[in-house]
Structure 1
């Protein structure tokens, strides 16, 4: 089976899980105030200073998380509450190749969302050099340091007009981890 068909089939299977998420992008309720929920840079969720101990509760809240501009909200069809996110609401904590040729990479978040690293879920470099992947509904996941170092090991050096870049490929897309200083 051709690579693009394999990638499309795997993406469709993973997308079906994403379709089970509430359609928060279609909900536009009025602003209802703030809730004292903070998603720390390490991926832990806190309410009034105490950590959420039940992952199932975090996953429930994450399913109704929405980003508008640089602000984050928990939304229902009738309410919209602002929360604080220190960096990104998710962390990329695992990855694996889905094929023997090592051309399709699946990544997973700390909340067990899994998807193919591809054009719909691109890898981006922030101004400070941190790496982020778009998870769902324009929500970012920061690439955990351990994953970053594993990707550096598999990346290839490529000369470009901007300098030497560390790159790898997934689902027929090129992803850059950064530039090497000369």
Structure 2
């Protein structure tokens, strides 16, 4: 996918994000917040879009998915449940990097997370409805996923190749030493 961000600068940012330790926090105050993340990645507070990208990034940094399959904004003292229509993030950009014979696919999300698909950050395709078609996803961090946008999914097709797994041919992509089929898995 052609963008103004070069792959080397994306690769340099990998793993540099410093997120709060939300998984370790056990707040005593629990509640709900009128915050909703729509399927198209819009962050809404009381049905109005949040216009400040920096605020969205801040909120995303304290987002957690708990074992009850609910999403929460978490601080050391408070845990507020929010609504997420599908997944909290969108993968809006992908760049391919090559070192020797290894390829990495580096994604940028709508909240500026930089993630390379690999065995810890898997890419998969779920079966959508007839209207939506296949739904590709990427694991971002700590149980939080991004839906890969249609243009980025089409860009992945440019990097795709055939690969045999257990005697069966799959169309997919290699990244970080792992192969990810671009076909529906469920």
Alpha-carbon RMSD:
2.2
Match of 2:88 in 1: 89
User: Structure 2 length normalisation: TM-score?
Assistant: 0.82
Name the CA shift for 1:29/1:127 in 2 (closer, same or farther; >3 Å): farther
Give 1:174's aligned residue: 179
Are positions 1:78 and 2:77 aligned together? yes
Partner of 1:47: 45
Give the deviation of 1:11 after TM superposition: 7.4
1:150 alignment counterpart: 155
In the alignment, which residue of structure 2 is the partner of 1:25? 23
After TM superposition, the structure 1 = structure 2 runs for residues 91-130 of structure 1, keeping only pairs within 5 Å, are: 91-99=90-98, 103-128=103-128, 129-130=134-135
SS in 1 for 2:76: coil
Q: State the 1:45 CA deviation.
A: 0.2
Task: Give 5+ residue unaligned stretches, structure 1.
Answer: 1-9
Residue 34 of structure 2 is aligned with which of 24, 36, 40? 36
- Tell me which stretches of 4 or more aligned residues in structure 1 moved more than 3 Å: 10-13, 158-164
SS in 2 for 1:91: strand
The structural deviation recorded for 1:98 is 2.4
Deviation, structure 1 residue 165: 2.0
Structure 1 residues 57 and 162, CA gap change in structure 2 (3 angstroms): farther
1:62–1:11: structure 2 CA closer, same or farther, 3 Å change rule? same
**Structure 1 SS opposite 2:58:** helix
Aligned residues, how many?
168
Normalised by the length of structure 1, the TM-score is 0.83
- The 3 A distance-change label for structure 1 pair 178 and 59 is same
